């Protein structure tokens, strides 16, 4: 959803046949993006994510969400954080819409709540820290919303509030190196510690000794 005042480079239809540039089809193992993480050493480390891995993640999340036409995902994450890829690309590959929040809206729960209501947002992904700030200031934002939480451990009390107030609560877990998320759990209001759920498609989970 592009609001008035935002620049659009080419509003007309794109026709690949009129382009003077050769068509490029990336190989599945070609890099889709590189994102840096501190890793275990504290030094920045570039993680290369392939098109195959990103496409698998997008398909898995789209399937879990049932994303499609009529849905609107409110994007609040900076592109320097890998979970932004879910917000931007899942709607685009499923025929849904992306609503881009301005920085001041992300920082102000009341403005964010007003944006969600104005655009009829159906899905919102955020860290538990951001979710707590949102529902403390604007609990009405949760009404009818599919709530996605990840990036930090989800406290039991917050999970209870999110599951009670929203239409659905999805707890997501995964390291950057395995392409954003590796597991997903549908959580109901049950008053116990939330779990991380089951592996996404084409993902294997292993419990290992301390390395």
Within a domain: 208:
no
Q: Give tens-digit pLDDT for 79-131.
A: 989 999 999 999 999 999 999 999 999 999 999 999 999 999 999 999 999 99
Within a domain: 14:
no
Within a domain: 144:
yes
Contacts of 142 (CB under 8 A, 6+ apart): 135, 162, 165, 166
Q: Which domain holds residue 173?
A: 33-199
Give the percent of the chain with pLDDT over 70.
Answer: 88
Within a domain: 3:
no
**Total number of domains constituting the chain:** 1
Q: Give tens-digit pLDDT for 41-60.
A: 778 889 999 999 999 999 99
Q: What's the pTM value of the predicted model, to 2 decimals?
A: 0.85
Is the separation of the CB atoms in 86 and 57 below 8 Å?
yes
Q: What CATH number does the domain containing 46 carry?
A: 3.40.50.12780
Q: pLDDT category, 14, cuts 50, 70, 90?
A: low
Phi/psi region, residue 180 (left: phi>0; alpha: psi -120 to 50; beta: rest), is left
């Amino acid at each position: 959803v592009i609001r008035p005042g935002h620049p659009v480079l080419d509003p007309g239809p794109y026709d690949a046949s009129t382009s003077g540039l050769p068509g490029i089809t990336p190989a599945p193992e070609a890099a889709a993006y590189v994102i840096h993480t501190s890793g275990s050493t504290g030094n920045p480390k570039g993680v290369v994510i392939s098109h195959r891995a990103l496409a698998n993640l997008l398909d898995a999340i789209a399937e879990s969400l049932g994303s499609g036409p009529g849905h609107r995902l409110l994007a609040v994450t900076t592109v320097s954080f890998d979970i932004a890829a879910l917000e931007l690309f899942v709607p685009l590959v499923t025929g849904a819409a992306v609503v881009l929040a301005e920085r001041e809206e992300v920082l102000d729960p009341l403005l964010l709540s007003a944006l969600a209501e104005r655009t009829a947002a159906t899905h919102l992904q955020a860290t538990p820290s951001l979710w707590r700030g949102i529902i403390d200031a604007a609990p009405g934002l949760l009404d009818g919303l599919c709530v996605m939480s990840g990036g930090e451990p989800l406290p039991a009390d917050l999970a209870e509030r999110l599951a009670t107030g929203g239409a659905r609560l999805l707890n997501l877990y995964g390291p950057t190196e395995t392409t954003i998320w590796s597991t997903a759990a549908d959580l109901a209001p049950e008053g116990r510690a939330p779990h991380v759920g089951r592996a996404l498609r084409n993902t294997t989970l292993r419990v290992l000794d301390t390395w």
